[in-house]
Amino acid sequence: MADILIYLETAQSSDGAALKKPAAEVATAGRALADALGGRLVAVITGSVAPEGVLGRHGVDEVLHVEGDAFGRHLLDAQAAALEAAMADVEPASVLLAATVLGKELSAFVAGRTGRALISDATSVGADGTQVVASKPKYAGKAMAQIAATRPSIVSLRPNAVPAAENPREAATRTLAVEAPAARVRLREVVPSAETQLELTEADIIVSGGRGIGGPDAWDEILGLASALGAAHGASRAVVDAGWRPHAEQVGQTGKTVSPKLYVACGISGAIQHLAGMSSSKVIVAVNKDPEAPIFKVADYGIVGDVHDVLPMLSEAAGSFLAG
Amino acid sequence: MKIIVCIKRVVDTETRVKIGADGKSIDLGGVQFITAPYDEMAVEKAIQLRDEAGEGSVTVVTVGPAAATKELRTALAMGADEALHAVTEEHLGPNATAAALQAALGDRAFDLILCGKQATDEDDAAVGPLLAAGLGLPCVAFVHSLTVAAGHAIVEREIDGETEILEVDLPAVLTAQKGLAEPRYPGLKGIMAAKKKPLESVPAEVTDGPTEVRALELPPARSAMVTIEPTPAGMQTLLTALRQEKKVL
Ligand SMILES: Cc1cc2nc3c(=O)[nH]c(=O)nc-3n(C[C@H](O)[C@H](O)[C@H](O)COP(=O)(O)OP(=O)(O)OC[C@H]3O[C@@H](n4cnc5c(N)ncnc54)[C@H](O)[C@@H]3O)c2cc1C
Ligand SMILES: Nc1ncnc2c1ncn2[C@@H]1O[C@H](COP(=O)(O)O)[C@@H](O)[C@H]1O
């Protein structure tokens, strides 16, 4: 039991199924863990995608492919059956997957069904001898716990926490026959959101606005900067509660936890509940007219000024800087 | 409609975390406690569902220290009917917590179990699905909308910017995402009524969990802030630093 199994989510889009962005990160972490334990790295993929090339690039030795309509869309009972079949086949020391909404649900559900140790939302994973040890933020990122699994484990990895690295090899593919269980949860409808933007938790750059933006009409300044930087856009709770932006964009304790490479906080005071959702960002830039705003305590770069002056200036500079 | 709601006593989200002497847990001296915010939303939703149905009951259950009767009483004051307290002073990991909850529930009958999406101390978002697995029930995590019909529930959740509308067979375990319900403040009448509502305490069944906390540390301190002038030249300085020093552009 030294092998590592990774479960990779796929996204259905108009041009067919594709691996979601955290897949390369999970594969990278899985490769390193397999090397540390002296095992192979096996990936399980469900639905109709066959991305051996992509996976081989990130160090996967073998791809197990679970086919069938029941596995196309992510429904928990079917995905659990697929993952458990792969686990029975590989008998991995540890299973790694992305700590997305679906990944957190699946990892805990399967850990419960198989009696495996669960470490949820880890930001790194490694081995101490034969034991799997992971770091995970607790108390909204105000503390980091080192957690060891004393039994075979399942670890979900926070998106954007482990940078994807290449480690090319030829990945063999094998089809795994799995019977779809009776669906106790059924999909009735999928309502696409009015506005399409990259999932916040997966974005490399996020521009967020707070009450300091002044109102929904001025939101163009946030969207303008986000577009100049190729970023996703988020909001504080004050903005969401005021109805300026949808809840899906809220960052913080009761919104999303993000760890992009770059987080630009504009007109956000930096309340502890907001920091809870973004303080693990690699680089933080804050724009606020109040030099005492708590956001400056976590910022790497601080601009004391009015957002209505700074944002257009920064958007323009970024536009030409990135083009040049 | 019999609904069970799992609630947890957690440190207040405003708490400044200090690491305890054991280096594995936080120092609880002077710390304020609250009911985990998502658990409050779950309690509120359960009360609303019971009241809409005009029948049934809401049972709140916790695995936690003796002091957690306070959070159970608060839920009773909001309008829950009864409380079940599996008492342990030990810190349990997610597997052991779910097992203790399952043991505490025993063979109680219910139509629905609601949990919060995550407890704001562990931030695992795990106990709901773990409990569902243990009980052999279907599960949907992170739901922001829930209606109940005969034998099933219709729930909504957001995945990658899309809203999924799902039908789930009951009984099931669901976990509450923001939007499900805005918790009410218990009024004086509720607080008085809560004193007379049943609160059963039993020792928690604590099993050896398969995870152990080796250390708890403060996150690495962030480097000192660099001040950028709010001028076009300042913007160039910032963009250059982001690209050349930080390599994030
Ligand atoms: C249980 C609980 C959960 C919560 N969850 C969340 C959460 O998930 N996410 C979250 O964000 N909050 C959350 N909060 C709320 C949080 O406590 C704050 O109230 C909220 O983050 C404040 O939002 P804000 O910074 O946009 O607004 P404010 O606190 O009003 O700050 C506005 C800032 O903008 C600045 N400003 C004003 N005008 C300008 C200008 N023209 N130019 C530049 N700067 C300007 C001001 O100096 C100020 O710093 C939660 C609270 C509780 C109790
Ligand atoms: N000790 C506990 N007692 C009761 N419910 C709990 C306990 N721990 C977690 N829960 C429930 O499970 C949810 C998720 O917790 P967690 O997996 O720790 O993030 C919480 O929001 C609660 O509803």
Report whether residue A135 contacts ligand 1, using a CB cutoff of 6 Å.
Answer: no
**Are A149 and B211 within 8 A, CB to CB?**
yes
**Confidence band of A16 (pLDDT split at 50, 70, 90):** low
**Confidence band of A49 (pLDDT split at 50, 70, 90):** low
Residues sharing a CB contact under 8 Å with residue B46, sequence separation 6 or more, in sequence order: B3, B5, B58, B80, B112, B114
Q: Which two tokens mark A299? A: 């910022």
Tell me the domains of chain B and their CATH numbers.
2-203 (3.40.50.620)
Q: Say how many residues make up chain A.
A: 324
Q: What angle do CA B127, B198, B200 make, to 5 degrees?
A: 50
Instruction: Indicate which atom in ligand 1 lies nearest the CA of residue B37.
Output: 1
pTM: 0.92
**Confidence band of A50 (pLDDT split at 50, 70, 90):** low
Q: What is d(CA B243, CA B249) in angstroms, rounded to the nearest whole number?
A: 5
Residues sharing a CB contact under 8 Å with residue A129, sequence separation 6 or more, in sequence order: none
**Confidence band of A21 (pLDDT split at 50, 70, 90):** confident
Query: Residue A106: its chain B contacts at CB < 8 A?
Result: 129
Q: Number of A:B CB contacts under 8 A?
A: 266
Q: What one-letter code names the amino acid at B229? A: E
The answer on pLDDT for A202 being more than 70 is yes
* A54-107 pLDDT tens trace: 678 889 999 999 988 889 888 999 999 999 999 999 999 999 999 999 999 999
**Shortest Cα distance, chain A CAs vs residue B136, angstroms:** 8
Burial B171-203 (b: 16+ CB within 10 A, else e): bbbbbbbbbbbebeebeeebeeebeebeeeeee
* A149-176 pLDDT tens trace: 999 999 999 999 999 999 999 888 999 9
Residue in chain A closest to B228 (alpha carbons) equals: A303
pLDDT value for A17: 60
The answer on pLDDT for A52 being more than 80 is no
Percentage with pLDDT > 90 across chain B: 92
Query: Residue A120: its chain B contacts at CB < 8 A?
Result: 94, 123-126
Report whether residue A309 contacts ligand 1, using a CB cutoff of 6 Å.
Answer: no
Q: What is the value of ipTM here, to two decimals?
A: 0.93
First to last CA, chain A: 52
**Are B64 and B8 within 8 A, CB to CB?**
yes
| Proportion of chain A in helix, strand, coil states, percent, rounded to 5 | 35, 30, 35
Closest by CA to A134, choosing from A146, A150, A118, A120, is A146
Q: What is d(CA A62, CA A156) in angstroms, rounded to the nearest whole number?
A: 20
Average pLDDT, chain A: 92
Element (H, E) at B141: strand B139-143
**Are A244 and A215 within 8 A, CB to CB?**
yes
Distance A238 CA to ligand 1 centre (A): 5
Closest by CA to B180, choosing from B62, B78, B40, B58, is B40
Average the pLDDT over B130-149 and give the result.
97
* A65-80 pLDDT tens trace: 998 888 988 899 999 9
Tell me the domains of chain A and their CATH numbers.
4-175 (3.40.50.620), 200-322 (3.40.50.1220)
Q: Which two tokens mark B32? A: 């304020």
The answer on pLDDT for A194 being more than 90 is no
Query: Residue A161: its chain B contacts at CB < 8 A?
Result: none
Average the pLDDT over B110-132 and give the result.
96
Give whole-number Cα distances, A278 to A142, A258, A299, in Å.
Answer: 11, 5, 11
pLDDT value for A1: 77
What are the beta bridge partners of residue A172?
A: A62
Interface check B65 vs A, CB under 8 A: no
Whether A139 and B11 lie within 8 Å, measured CB to CB = yes
Which three-class secondary structure state does DSSP give residue A74? coil
